[in-house]
Amino acid sequence: IPSYFDERQYAHEPHQELHNGGWATYAEKSSRAGTIAAGLANLNPARDFGLGPLLDVHDGGYVDFLRIAHSEWIAAGREGDAIGYTWPVVRRRELKLDRIDAKLGRYSFDAATPIAEGTWVASYWSAQTALTALAALLDGEASTSFALCRPPGHHAGRDYCGGYCYLNNAAIAAQRARRQGRRVAILDLDYHHGNGTQDIFYDDPDIFFASIHADPVTDYPFFWGHADERGEGTGEGKTLNLPLPRGTDVMGYQEALGVALNAIAAHQADLIVLSFGADTFEDDPISYFRLRKDDYPKIAARVASLELPILVIMEGGYAVDALGLNVEAFLAGLSA
């Protein structure tokens, strides 16, 4: 499977995140990318598609903020990573904000997503990696490709970061594929609900979004991913949420997967963007499903049985020692 990665994605290395009332070691370490890259046979660099495809998904003011937030933080006399401490409640009016702390609140939804010196560079190249892997499908060079995106993307919305995500790589690729005339379904198999992707396409009738994830009653991101969220307006019915309880193993997972795959077929998709998180793994340090390494090829093979081109976008997965093998197992199941 042709795979894509850019070394500049290592530039993002936040030190800590706020969790359970204290500072915790940042789980989305750059070494995650290294352990995955080490197991890939056919690894290619990213091409540069510029800002256009990013701005076709994200708000211009938000993208400007991502570029300059860390230097504004330093200019304000702070040290380390930029992180917010005040957030507007939902539907506060738009304001022209100047102070870095206000902008951090305006453009984020949690305190687990700091902006470090290399965040913009790494996020930019993570998105370009997704676009490069998509091009391999659109150009007919391959029927499956893998974008080793890092930082991940599925929690990032049109104008907000969160959940270790800054630019929504899957949404950027899906939008570009649609602009090229493809009928796209996004299948999100990360442990956490892909709230950013859902928000971006919530009223969109053309891009179907299906997600299998931990029930937001118990798990992050709490405010999205409930089964009754089905899309709105002309996008009504084009969002499918399949929340599962903590402790779910391959049996329960496969049942939900069957529902998601039937819905993708009913959408008459001709291309799948697959947000893959290996944080569904039994030994993941921040998650509570019970998938084993040998379950991943079986899950992947069922997605492949739809016989559609598949763009795999890397999302979460924090058991770093097992991560490379879990990703390898998943990709092997796609081409088996």
Interface with Zn ion includes 243 (CB under 5 A)?
no
Contact 314, 1 (CB under 8 A): no
Angle in degrees, CA 165, 218, 202, rounded to 5: 50
* Spatial distance between the Cα atoms of 29 and 148, rounded to a whole number of angstroms: 14
Q: Which does 27 bind (CB under 5 to 8 A by kind): ligand SP5, Zn ion, none?
A: ligand SP5
Interface with ligand SP5 includes 216 (CB under 6 A)?
no
Quote the tokens at residue 234.
Answer: 């002309």
We find the least distance from the C-beta atom of residue 100 to Zn ion, in angstroms, to be 28
Interface with ligand SP5 includes 220 (CB under 6 A)?
yes
Quote the tokens at residue 150.
Answer: 């890092």
Which residue type does 290 have? R
Interface with Zn ion includes 110 (CB under 5 A)?
no
Q: Which does 163 bind (CB under 5 to 8 A by kind): ligand SP5, Zn ion, none?
A: ligand SP5
Nearest to 173 by CA among 213, 212, 126: 126
Q: With respect to ligand SP5, which residue has the nearer C-beta, 110 or 204? A: 110
Interface with Zn ion includes 151 (CB under 5 A)?
no
Which residue type does 234 have? T
What are phi and psi for residue 10, nearest 5 degrees?
A: -75, -15
Interface with ligand SP5 includes 163 (CB under 6 A)?
yes
The contact pattern for ligand SP5, residues 241-260, with x = CB under 6 A and - = no contact, is: --------------------
We find the least distance from the C-beta atom of residue 226 to ligand SP5, in angstroms, to be 17
Which residue type does 245 have? P
Q: With respect to ligand SP5, which residue has the nearer C-beta, 27 or 310? A: 27
Catalytic annotation, pick one of 12, 155, 192, 213: 155
Q: With respect to ligand SP5, which residue has the nearer C-beta, 54 or 313? A: 313
Q: In the annotation, is 155 catalytic?
A: yes
Q: HEC string of 89-157?
A: CCCCCCCCCCCHHHHHHHCECCCCCCECCCHHHHHHHHHHHHHHHHHHHHCCCCCEEEECCCCCCCCCE
Interface with ligand SP5 includes 25 (CB under 6 A)?
yes
Query: Footprint of ligand SP5 on residues 50-69 (CB under 6 A)?
Result: none
Q: Is the peptide bond before 114 cis (omega within 30 degrees of 0)?
A: no
Where along the sequence are the contacts to ligand SP5 (CB under 6 A)? Answer: 17, 19, 24-25, 27, 112, 152, 155, 163-165, 190, 192, 220, 277, 279, 286, 315-316
